[in-house]
Amino acid sequence: MRLSVDGVERVFAPEALVVIGYAGRNRAAVEHHIDELAELGVPRPASVPLFMVFPPWLLTQEPSITVAGSQTSGEAEIVLVGDGDEVFVTLGSDHTDRVLEAVDIAASKAVCPKPVAVSGWPAAAVEDRWEDLTLSSRIDGDVAYQDGSAGANLPPLELVASIPWAGRRPRCFVAFTGTVPVIGDIRPSTGFHAELSGPGLAPLQLSYRVETVPELTR
């Protein structure tokens, strides 16, 4: 995995991928969202926030991903990359299988690649400015899909510090730290574009295509 940070390319070898769900700062709103999802058949998470660990090979920086099934969709997220004592901020998409999500949340994440941008910021540049950052996404060209303040979620560095590692913390890991609400309904697309921006910062951008494997006749 590579990130361009302040004009310098950094190379990382993540040992683990952590996806953090239900990371909203307003706990009452999070509980309301959980209740809404329960009405759609999505089981209640085992904890709030919910920490899910996956193998790092789910991460991708390719311009397209391939999924099985037509009901998958992206979620723009602030991503932290921990490497020894250093932490970097980048942008990712927690692409998820929405059909499987109603059965098993972790499994719905595990069956989809996780696209990550190719540029980032040092965490020190934004660690006190999360409320100033805007997280947005578009689908299928210019259709607005998400647009919200990163301050709506718990601070990413705080979330990463609370990951319940069993044993030693990996020297290098990647953590997806939460998304912002969707405009309208959650829905699939053939293209996804996300952006993380803030005053005085070069925006981080991520774009990828979504391809679906052919179905078989029944």
Indicate if the pLDDT at residue 91 is higher than 80.
yes
CATH number (domain holding residue 125) = 3.90.850.10
- Residue 159 domain flag: yes
- Residue 11 domain flag: yes
CA-CA distance, 168 to 154, in Å (whole number)?
24
What are 40's two structure tokens? 């759609």
- Residue 200 domain flag: yes
DSSP codes, 14-63: -SEEEEEES-BS-HHHHHHHHHHHHHTTPPPPSSSSEEEEE-GGGEE-SS
- Residue 218 domain flag: no
pTM (two decimals):
0.94
Domain holding 53, by residue range, is 2-212
Total count of domains within the chain: 1
Give residue-wise pLDDT tens across range 117-173: 999 999 999 999 999 999 999 999 899 999 999 999 999 999 999 999 998 899 999
- Residue 204 domain flag: yes
- Residue 217 domain flag: no
- Residue 53 domain flag: yes
What pLDDT is recorded for position 215? 86
94 forms beta bridges with none
Q: Please name the helix (run of DSSP H) or strand (run of DSSP E) that holds residue 81, with its range, or none.
A: strand 76-83
